[in-house]
Amino acid sequence: MERRDFFKKAIVAAGTATVGSSALEAGVTVQPIDDRQISPVAFPEKRPLIMYSDRPPLLETPRDVFTSVLTPNDQFFVRWHMPDIPTHIDPDTYTIHINGLVEKELNISLNDLKTKFEQVEVTAVLQCGGNSRSAFKPVAGGIQWGSGAMGCAIWKGVRLRDILDKAGLKKDAEWIGFNGSEKAAYYETPEFIRELHLEELDDHVILAYEMNGEDLPYLNGYPLRLVIPGSYSDSWVKMLSNITVTNKYKHLFFMDVAYRVPDNECECETPEKKAPKTKPITKMNVKSVIGYPTKDSVVSHKSHVVVRGVAFDDGHGIKEVLVSTDAGKTWSQAILDDGKLGRYAYRAFRFAFKPNTLGKVTIMTKAINNIGEEQPFAKDIKWNHGGYKYNGIDEVTVEVV
């Protein structure tokens, strides 16, 4: 796929609208979803989503998508760090290079991955560490994501462990570095490289070339991306080009400066003073999101309303989801799906009620996982400068008429 053609198609799809946030300035009518605007631009392989930038592409999934376990590929959020995405990817010649502290360096093609290794699938949530950042008060730095910088898919590929076994790890191997193909516009900008310690490796960590039964969408990392279930998406490197095994941790910007939270019990600090010590964000915390109804929905008095949404954590599994229809005064248990897609997937929930009062009604959801962790009230969320790991009780307010 030619990159210049890719973005040209996006611009054409917008008609006379200006691509990116300037579309609003051009007077284009857009659809409001939870105070966020659906862009008039539809990138190839995507429906119109909430757009924060077109270069690099930053697209958020609308809230009303989160009523089912799997997120459709064409509505799956998009997060890139660098503006220069490769101009051309030929699946017939694409290879991933394995080097460093290995007995045998490898160049593995897509066909090799599909024919010479055991094929595996894992259903897992992909979530940006800054998802729901806009809910922090005061405002934290970074993209002001709503609750849609996340999605759940069935990922198919090959175990990373199998690839490393084929290369053969040397006895002093400890760290695995992953490099993607995106490039910065400015030569001094650090490359997007992530590292994984060998102790973090398990059979669920895979190199995926399929997503929900189709080739990875271009904007979600085609042709190959790293999948680390339970971890935030900054570690899920897209368009993988190189895997390097080392015996020492390599100090990197995106490991040592970006994507970090205070290294204290509450992972918090104050706007006036940064924490003296920080740590990388890794495992996701427990979270739920209401997909229906959405903010400012109008429902009829004493009608049959079914609240729907999804809940997830880092893989311990969701035990229950509680719903409040009186702004958190009382709670009732929602019905969860069967969870057959595994502990890293969404658990879809539903809760039926009949609104018996007129006016504004606030609906809240709170997920609790199998080790007793639960979502806190928004007022109890501890602040950090990066705006990471927000998981306050979700809520929407509807109008009953």
Report residue 36's pLDDT band, with 50, 70 and 90 as the boundaries: confident
| CB neighbours of residue 338 within 10 Å | 8
Q: Summarize the confidence of residues 1-28 as an average pLDDT.
A: 38
Contact by Cβ (8 Å): 95, 241: no
Q: Which of 145, 210, 201 is nearest to 178 (CA)?
A: 201
Report residue 180's pLDDT band, with 50, 70 and 90 as the boundaries: confident
User: Is residue 19 pLDDT above 50, yes or no?
Assistant: no
What kind of architecture, by CATH, is found in domain 287-400? Answer: Sandwich (2.60)
- pLDDT score, position 198: 95
- pLDDT score, position 83: 77
1-284: CATH class: alpha beta
Report residue 48's pLDDT band, with 50, 70 and 90 as the boundaries: very high
Q: Summarize the confidence of residues 281-290 as an average pLDDT.
A: 96
User: How far is it, in rounded angstroms, from Cα 228 to Cα 204?
Assistant: 7
Domain boundaries, the chain: 1-284, 287-400
- pLDDT score, position 253: 64
Which of the two residues, 184 and 81, has the higher pLDDT score? 81
| Statement: the pTM of the whole predicted model exceeds 0.75 | yes
Contact by Cβ (8 Å): 282, 336: no
Residue with tokens 């390097």: 244
In the chain, what percentage of residues exceed pLDDT 70? 88
Taking only the tens place, the pLDDT of each residue in 94-108 is 999 999 999 999 999
